[in-house]
Structure 1
Amino acid sequence: MITGFQSNPVPKPKGEQGNEHLRKRGRAGMAQRKRRLQAEPLCRHCAVQGLTTPSTVPDHIIPLKDGGTDDDTNIQCLCEQCHAIKTAIEAAQGTGASNHPDWLRPSAIPLTIVCGPPCAGKTTYVEQNAKPGDITIDLDALARKIDPSYRQWEGMLEGALLNSAIRARNELLGSLSRLKRGNAWFIVSAPTQAERNWWQDHLCGNTHLIDPGADECKRRAIQRGTPNAVKGIDEWHRRARQQWQPKGKAQTFTEQGRVVW
């Protein structure tokens, strides 16, 4: 069950096309967007979790397509990540999200794709090199934001949570082609060179592989109190020796639950 972000749109009556026609465009839309962000400069969803994050997107609480209004009472300002999560949950209709969506376009800002096995130090590397305002895209971090009860390596990331997390990740990856400032960091296991090439071909940017070796990763896993990660480390190195082809729909497990795609 997803306990964090919830979307409860009002069902549209049969034949209704929603209220997309209410959306302001052009200069009027830009002025409205600026006014709303000034009125709510911090992300509302982050604030609920005790976080302070600048808002970047005025979001319709009930989407226009589902009958929501364009009044300020139906607006909440969110950060890019929270907006991607909400959009992903709204888009989830029981179908599996794509692990490797072909519609991705090259990032418009500098992007580093950080790859490697569990406990290799990918997150630490990004934290040490990212600057304020940079965007970090990490599947497990998104899962924790969607469902705060999710704990890394304490179970499997699967079902509705996995589906929503992958959709949110894809939303964020897709947004990179529209950004104008900052840098982006994408954390993904990608055990094979073929998969790393796939991500680089679609998103451009640079790939950075971190692999201190299986023994060192396992030592870190035990030291951190996450012995379940040991199986994930073995799985990553096993898959690194295999041929790779893009997967379509989301698999049952992610890096945190035995199987690494």
Structure 2
Amino acid sequence: MLYVVTGPPASGKSTWIDAHATPRDIVIDLDRITTALTGPGAPAWNQHPLHLRVAHRARYAAIDEAVQHLDRLDVYLIHTMPNARALARYKRLNARIIAVDPGRDIVMQRIASMRSPEMERVATRWYNARHRLPTEPMPQASRTW
């Protein structure tokens, strides 16, 4: 099964996956990939644009490979704001789309304390487009921060 986990920045997408995925599953998370590709002490968020560029390429390759094995394992993919093309692909793959959203106020507080200011724009775009996502209700709240 493919689980596409969506939500604004700092909403708890990784935490949701940590609570549901098993060691046998594949987790494709751009933050984790970037951390794996950078040296010790690199930030977990607010990464350098060149680090992100390399990590995006690795993410695309991981997605392409992982979806070939959905009959044998579960794949958890974080995709903050999938566009129409991505959503169509996920639909063809019979993905479950999960929205993790503790609420705009909580997200904006988390962004202010942990993330770069441009993430506020990303969160605002996510909330403005939220009605277009064919998501399932989030089965649990994200962690308390």
- TM-score bracket relative to the smaller structure: 0.7 to 0.9
Matched, 1:226 2:114: yes
Q: 1:152 maps to which residue?
A: 44
Q: 1:90 maps to which residue?
A: none
Residue of structure 2 aligned with 1:128, choices 19, 38, 46? 19
Q: 1:181 maps to which residue?
A: 72
Q: What CA distance in whole angstroms lies between the structure 2 residues aligned with 1:173 and 1:163?
A: 16
The answer to whether the 8 A contact 1:136-1:186 is kept is: yes
Matched, 1:204 2:94: yes
% same residue: 26
Q: What CA distance in whole angstroms lies between the structure 1 residues aligned with 2:115 and 2:57?
A: 28
Structure 1 outlier segments of 4+, above 6 Å: none
Gaps of 5+ in 1: 1-109, 243-261
Q: 1:112 maps to which residue?
A: 3
Q: 1:168 maps to which residue?
A: 58
Return the offset for 1:119: 1.1
Q: TM-score, normalising length from structure 2?
A: 0.72
Q: How many residues align?
A: 127
Partner amino acid, structure 2, of 1:151: P
Q: Which structure features the higher share of helix residues?
A: 2
Q: What CA distance in whole angstroms lies between the structure 2 residues aligned with 1:195 and 1:124?
A: 26
Q: What CA distance in whole angstroms lies between the structure 1 residues aligned with 2:14 and 2:63?
A: 17
Q: 1:178–1:199: structure 2 CA closer, same or farther, 3 Å change rule?
A: closer
Partner amino acid, structure 2, of 1:144: T
The answer to whether the 8 A contact 2:2-2:67 is kept is: no
Q: 1:137 maps to which residue?
A: 28
The answer to whether the 8 A contact 1:134-1:182 is kept is: yes
The answer to whether the 8 A contact 2:35-2:43 is kept is: yes
Q: What CA distance in whole angstroms lies between the structure 1 residues aligned with 2:109 and 2:43?
A: 20
Return the offset for 1:231: 3.7
Larger radius of gyration: 1
Q: 1:177–1:210: structure 2 CA closer, same or farther, 3 Å change rule?
A: closer
Cα RMSD between the aligned structures? 2.5
Counterpart secondary structure, 2:120? helix
Counterpart secondary structure, 1:207? strand
Q: 2:136 maps to which residue?
A: none
What is the correspondence of 1:231-246 to structure 2 with a 5 Å cutoff? Answer: 231-238=118-125, 240-241=127-128
Q: What CA distance in whole angstroms lies between the structure 1 residues aligned with 2:127 and 2:92?
A: 20
What is the correspondence of 1:27-38 to structure 2 with a 5 Å cutoff? Answer: none
Q: TM-score, normalising length from structure 1?
A: 0.43
Partner amino acid, structure 2, of 1:205: A
Structure with more contact order per residue of length (Cα contacts < 8 Å, sep ≥ 6): 2
